[in-house]
Amino acid sequence: MSKNTKNAQIRHGEIGMGRNQIGGIIPRDSSAAYRISLFMILIISTMLRFRGLGVESFWLDELTTLDAVDGGDWRDTMEGWLSMVGMGTWLLYWWAQIVGTESDYALRSVSAIAGVILIYIVSEFTRRHTDEKAGIIAAGMMSVSYLSILYSQEFRPYMFTTLFIWISFYLIRKPERLTKPQIATSVTLLTLAYLIHYLAGLAIVLGLICDFIIRIKTTISSHGTQEPIGLSDRIRDYLNSNHGQRLMICFSLASVAIFMLEKMFLDSSSTNHSMWINDTPRRPVVSLFDYFVAFDDRGTITDIAESLWYFVLLSPLILYLHRKMNTERELENEIEWFVWFVGGGSMLMVVIYSVLVRPLWVSRYFVFSMPAWYILFGNSISKTIDLMVSAFNSQRSKLDSTTWSWAIALVFTAIFASNSLHWLVNDFEYYEQGGRCDFRGMSEWLDENTPENQDDVFIVSQPYSRFWDLYLDRMGSDVEIDTHGSWGDLGIGQLMPIIDDESDSVIHVRGHKKDMWNYDELTFVLNGSYELEQSYYFTEGQIDVYKRVRWLDS
């Protein structure tokens, strides 16, 4: 191969492999140790995400999604959504067409499947840009992540949207030239993810901007080693290279963003989008890491979460020290730049928006950028291990150092995962706590305890009746709930029929944070006409049964 031919191939991206941090070429084929370790992690990830998948009832947000995909066509699923154009429910509509709408387990399984595949993508992404042990550490930590498991067990679009983003990032950041199917896959998945949620769009934009900056820097750095060429030839070569491929993907997403600007401005100006969001935590990154690792009671600041934050702050120093070792990787190609930009950039933008405009900090909104943090954890921990082994084994062979590094990485991953798993299952009792509002249990109670002749029974609900009707319809139940309801306290449209109907029984059903509803209003209206016979309690729900006072009929 001639020198000029080789230079042209390098310029066009036909020859290119990532280099590891000690100066060798990262192999395309993984080692047996890596494959076995990753397989075990994926088995554990699958068990954690599918365990108890259909045990708890759908809660309000999941039922809202089910209401959108059930009983209409695909156009109906996209109406009335604030976060972009309802593309997430459009995709879930087609999933429901495949698995049906009768099983909570089947509907939620799309998120569980996506959650397991995401572990694999994170591991491979980290391996390709750092090394195998970094991939195993990142995958092991994320496999037991509380936030990752939680949103892998909901019938909502968070987890498969995150998967779409990071499959695309994995392809875009590859050093090799992409094939046309790979380009089409990246554009399609990023477009879908961008149209699903604002914060998914933010992670995508930050990732593409960072990739573009890195590739421009790489092009400028490599220009000095090439023969001088004209500007037009330089532009043509750039567009024909793998760098130019990524630029085409950026333009494809930019065209989507331009068409969506009006929708984005309209939705972002709506107070309904953030009126329910709490104030931004005093230490937002530590609070987010608390949701990641969650070794202690949820909502508190744990020592592990705080230590991880300090470790992130030290990651630039770790990168600097590691580069002092024998490395051939260009500085701009270190993966830290990309994950800092996506993970840290998303957090920074949300915090600034929350402070200056309106609250926007919600833990689940960071699911889209969550893999960036785990890639950073795995990458920095792996480099720290390399530094430790290099310091204590400076006289030993490279083979011995590699063996020691792998052993330390596996021990760390096993300890971290087992501690987190023990907390999740035994201390926090994640699979037994029943934290979601029990709409299913309340619907079953109504079906079993409401007489077939409902003429003398009036059922009033808070919030909308459709959240129970979705379960009642699945059961084939004939129970009818008053449909005059609205979001919030009981209105006159619900209260007057109770008085006018003069039913023998009034059943009041409350769900989704039952204490938020103005319960005294119903008691005031029924006072003197009905007396409370019995109350039934459910997870974040309650059913009160009132009987008409007998002397009123005498």
* Whether pLDDT at 307 is above 60: yes
Q: Mean pLDDT across the stretch 127-153?
A: 95
Whether pLDDT at 216 is above 70: yes
pLDDT at position 254: 81
Tokens read off for 222: 């490599």
Share of the chain above pLDDT 90, in %: 45
Q: Residue 121: pLDDT above 60? A: yes
What are 466-496's pLDDT values in tens digits? 899 999 999 999 999 987 666 666 666 666 7
pLDDT at 517: 72
pLDDT, residue 408, reads: 93
pLDDT at 231 over 80: no
pLDDT score of 302: 53
Is a pLDDT exceeding 80 seen at residue 379? yes
3-state helix/strand/coil string of 422-486: HHHHHHCCCCCCCCCCCHHHHHHHHHHHCCCCHHHEEEEEECCCHHHHHHHHHHCCCCCCCCCCC
For residue 463, whether the previous peptide bond is cis, meaning omega lies within 30 degrees of 0, is yes
Mean pLDDT of 384-398: 78
Residue extents of the structural domains in the chain: 32-427, 439-553
DSSP assignment of 212-275 equals: HHHHHHHHHHHHTTS----HHHHHHHHHHSHHHHHHHHHHHHHHHHHHHHHHHHHHHT-GGGTT
Q: Tell which wins on pLDDT, 172 or 491.
A: 172
Cβ atoms of 16 and 175 within 8 Å: the answer is yes
Distance, CA of 84 to CA of 86 (rounded, Å)? 6
| Res 230 pLDDT > 70 | no
Average pLDDT of the chain? 83
Strands 505-511 vs 457-462: parallel, antiparallel or unpaired: parallel
311-330 pLDDT, tens digit per residue, is: 999 999 999 999 887 667 78
**Rounded to whole angstroms, how far apart are CA atoms 554 and 552?**
6
Residue type, 59: W
Q: What is the pTM of this model?
A: 0.88
pLDDT for residue 200 is more than 60: yes
Note the pLDDT of residue 59. Answer: 93
**pLDDT exceeds cutoff 80 at 133:** yes
Name which of 450, 478, 464 is nearest 517 in CA terms.
464
What contacts 418, CB < 8 A, 6 or more positions away? none
Task: Judge whether residue 513 has pLDDT over 90.
Answer: no
How far apart are the C-alpha atoms of 159 and 49, rounded to whole Å?
A: 12
Give residues with Cβ within 8 angstroms of 432, minimum separation 6: none
pLDDT of residue 162: 97
Q: Supply 189's token pair.
A: 């998945």
Q: Give 388-395's long-range contacts (Cβ < 8 A, gap of 24+).
A: 390/325
Alpha carbons 51 and 425: distance in angstroms, whole number: 11
243: confidence class by pLDDT, cuts 50, 70, 90: confident
Mean pLDDT of the 119-133 span: 95
Measured between alpha carbons, how far is 464 from 484 in angstroms, rounded to an integer?
A: 8
Q: What angle do CA 39, 40, 43 make, to 5 degrees?
A: 90
3-class secondary-structure state, position 395? coil
